[in-house]
């Protein structure tokens, strides 16, 4: 039975938003929200008939805000804004992101401050429910006054323009409407502006980034623990007492998870009394480094959820006599944490690359380049070149887009957030990290095999076994790109984390922390 979410009246979380996009939860407009929407619509009608100038209802847009629009042209004004602002370029954004844009836009508009028609919201929900997704180019937004260009493309199909994806195909929106027996909508006063004013492009990328970065951080702890076992590192740096006296949330969480993952390992027990005083930073500082990125993730999650339940339209309609032209559409509140999260994500790749290098050095009883016959075989020499390249690429992506602003709209919009770029860059960094983690997994599994017959803990052994089901132990050189791509698939399809969770549940090992969930 599908769960129900009430747009405009229920609290939207990141998890619920993703579930609506996945079809696991159905979003509806209940009577309470419908009444608020209709009331706001009536207030806009009063403004039109009163001829009192209110931005975007009976005036032009941006630098044309002082140009008055006649009552009979108010509807044409709204369809014109969708056409004229559809200036996006580049390849289409992922369909899931476009769907998240629609979901978050309905949540914002259904709160009853935007003067949108109920029928317009119901048409958007029809697109969501039937998985008919508008084609939205990836570039063109400066993140204020809202994500104008991408949102314009997103809602062109409402008036029969633009393109949509349906059942894997890409077709003109007008053709799609005819196919389903629907007519293009005639937008009323304020509707076009309400549709395109807002942060939903930035927000959709943030919602998906919270999920993807969460997975990335979970894998970092897991693969890092496997690397530590391969390198016969110590679990002493993960002692809870150490982190109680420097109690950052993320650090404590990572230390607890690493200790739990490694506690009881035969590999670890075999070298408790060795003469190694301390491990390199990439091993013993995992709580501090992974944990700092966890703290950034928590910050992004918190601010994203605030934005999910916010009204980011302009002007905001309290009633016909009380409208405010403000700046709730400005993307800065998300642009900054997205840039912060980008750096935090890149650091996960940086430290993973260092562990790969460490495993190839031939230290701590491991053969050089993790191969028995180095010389004739290059072994795992060159995969670390790839991690180094990806790490450097990520560094170039860490320049904060929000640190820049180019004035637009003839100077009316003289400071913009560039948060749309922040959101896209974060996903590019995560894309690269998924390959870095695949390569670290290749190294870690190989290193662990040199510790046999000693075993690690149930969770780590289950993950090692999963790797070996897809990638054989490396005896001689082969095309390692094939191995990397096989492990990359285990990472991106969720198999690695699923295996870890199932093993933890089977052995009653608690790896979870409620505050780090997305629901």
Q: 21-30, 94-103, 390-399, 503-512 — which is least confidently predicted?
A: 503-512
pLDDT in tens, 161-181: 999 999 999 999 999 999 999
Average pLDDT value for residue range 491-496: 98
Check if 7 is active-site.
Answer: no
Contacts of 173 (CB under 8 A, 6+ apart): 134, 156, 157, 160, 161, 162, 163, 164
The pTM of this model reads: 0.96
Q: What is the largest CA-CA distance in the chain?
A: 86
Domain ranges of the chain: 3-197, 205-312+329-406+415-507
Catalytic site residue from 55, 340, 435, 443: 55
- pLDDT at res. 514: 65
Query: 3-197: what CATH class?
Result: mainly alpha
Percent with pLDDT over 70 in the chain? 98
Q: What are phi and psi of 353, to 5 degrees?
A: -60, -40
Percent with pLDDT over 90 in the chain? 87
Q: 13-22, 112-121, 313-322 — which is least confidently predicted?
A: 313-322
Fold that domain 205-312+329-406+415-507 belongs to in CATH: Fumarase C; Chain A, domain 2 (1.20.200)
- pLDDT at res. 62: 67
Q: How many CA atoms lie within 13 A of 386 on its CB side?
A: 19
Q: Which of 424, 375, 443 is nearest to 206 (CA)?
A: 424
Task: Output the 3-class SS for 123-151.
Answer: HHHHHHHCCCEECCEEECCCCCCCCHHHH
- pLDDT of 202 strictly over 90: yes
Q: Where are the extended beta strands (E) located within 36-194? A: 89-92, 133-134, 137-139, 163-166, 169-172
Q: Which of 146, 109, 124, 122 is nearest to 309 (CA)?
A: 109
| pLDDT, averaged across the chain | 95
- pLDDT at res. 274: 87
Say how many residues make up the chain. Answer: 519
- pLDDT at res. 146: 86
Q: 70-84, 182-196, 240-254 — which is least confidently predicted?
A: 70-84
Average pLDDT value for residue range 443-451: 98
Q: pLDDT tier at 487 (50, 70, 90 boundaries)? A: very high
Q: How many CB atoms lie within 10 A of CB 488?
A: 18
pLDDT in tens, 9-60: 999 999 999 999 999 999 999 999 999 999 999 999 998 888 788 877 877 7
- pLDDT of 427 strictly over 80: yes
Average pLDDT value for residue range 91-95: 98
- pLDDT at res. 273: 85
Q: pLDDT tier at 149 (50, 70, 90 boundaries)? A: very high
Q: What is the DSSP string of 231-299?
A: TT--SGGG-HHHHHSS--HHHHHHHHHHHHHHTT-HHHHTTTT-S-----HHHHTHHHHHHHHHHHHHH
pLDDT in tens, 354-401: 999 999 999 999 999 999 888 999 999 999 999 999 999 999 999 999
- pLDDT at res. 1: 54
Whether residue 196 contacts residue 109, with contact meaning beta carbons closer than 8 Å, is answered with: no
Helix (H, G, I), strand (E, B) or coil at 323: strand
């Amino acid at each position: 039975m599908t769960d129900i979410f009430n747009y405009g009246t229920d609290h939207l979380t990141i998890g619920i938003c993703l579930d609506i996009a996945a079809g696991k939860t159905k979003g509806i407009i209940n009577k309470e929200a419908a009444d608020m929407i209709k009331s706001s619509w009536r207030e806009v009608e009063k403004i039109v008939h009163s001829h009192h100038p209110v931005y975007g209802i009976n005036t032009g847009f941006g630098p044309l805000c002082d140009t008055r629009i006649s009552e009979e042209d108010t509807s044409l004004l709204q369809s014109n804004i969708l056409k004229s602002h559809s200036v996006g370029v580049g390849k289409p954004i992922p369909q899931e992101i476009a769907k998240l844009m629609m979901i978050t836009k309905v949540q914002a508009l259904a709160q009853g401050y935007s003067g949108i028609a109920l029928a317009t919201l119901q048409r958007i929900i029809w697109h969501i429910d039937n998985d008919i997704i508008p084609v939205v180019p990836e570039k063109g937004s400066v993140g204020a006054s809202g994500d104008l260009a991408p949102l314009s493309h997103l809602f062109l199909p409402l008036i029969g323009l633009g393109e949509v994806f349906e059942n894997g195909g890409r077709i003109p929106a007008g053709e799609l409407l005819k196919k389903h027996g629907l007519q293009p909508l005639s937008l009323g006063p304020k509707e076009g502006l309400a549709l395109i004013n807002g942060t939903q492009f930035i927000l959709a990328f943030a919602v998906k980034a919270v999920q993807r970065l969460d997975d990335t951080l979970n894998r970092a702890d897991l693969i890092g623990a496997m690397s530590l076992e391969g390198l016969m590192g110590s679990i002493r740096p993960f002692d809870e007492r150490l982190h109680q006296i420097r109690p950052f949330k993320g650090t404590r969480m990572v230390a607890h998870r690493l200790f739990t993952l490694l506690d009881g390992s035969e590999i670890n027990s075999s070298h408790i009394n060795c003469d190694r005083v301390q491990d390199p930073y990439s091993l013993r500082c995992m709580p501090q480094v992974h944990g700092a990125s966890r703290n950034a993730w928590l910050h992004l999650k918190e601010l994203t959820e605030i934005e999910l339940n916010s009204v980011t339209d302009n002007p905001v309609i309290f009633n016909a006599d009380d409208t405010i032209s403000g700046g709730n559409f400005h993307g800065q509140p998300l642009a900054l944490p997205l840039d912060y999260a980008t750096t935090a994500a890149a650091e996960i790749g940086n430290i993973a690359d260092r562990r790969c290098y460490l495993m190839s050095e031939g230290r701590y009883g491991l053969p050089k380049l993790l191969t028995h016959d180095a010389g004739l075989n290059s072994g795992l020499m060159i995969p670390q070149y790839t991690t180094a390249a990806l790490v450097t690429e990520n560094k170039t992506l860490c320049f904060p887009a929000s640190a820049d602003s180019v004035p637009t709209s003839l100077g009316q919009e003289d400071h913009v957030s560039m948060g749309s770029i922040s959101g896209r860059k974060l996903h590019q960094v995560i894309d690269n990290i998924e390959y870095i983690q695949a390569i670290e997994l290749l190294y870690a599994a190989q290193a662990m095999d040199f510790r046999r017959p000693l075993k690690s803990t149930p969770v780590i052994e289950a993950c090692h076994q999963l790797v070996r089901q897809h990638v054989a132990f490396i005896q001689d050189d082969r095309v390692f790109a094939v191995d990397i791509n096989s492990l990359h698939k285990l990472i991106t399809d969720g198999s690695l984390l699923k295996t870890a969770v199932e093993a933890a549940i089977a052995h009653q090992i608690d790896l979870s922390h409620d505050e780090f969930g997305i629901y």
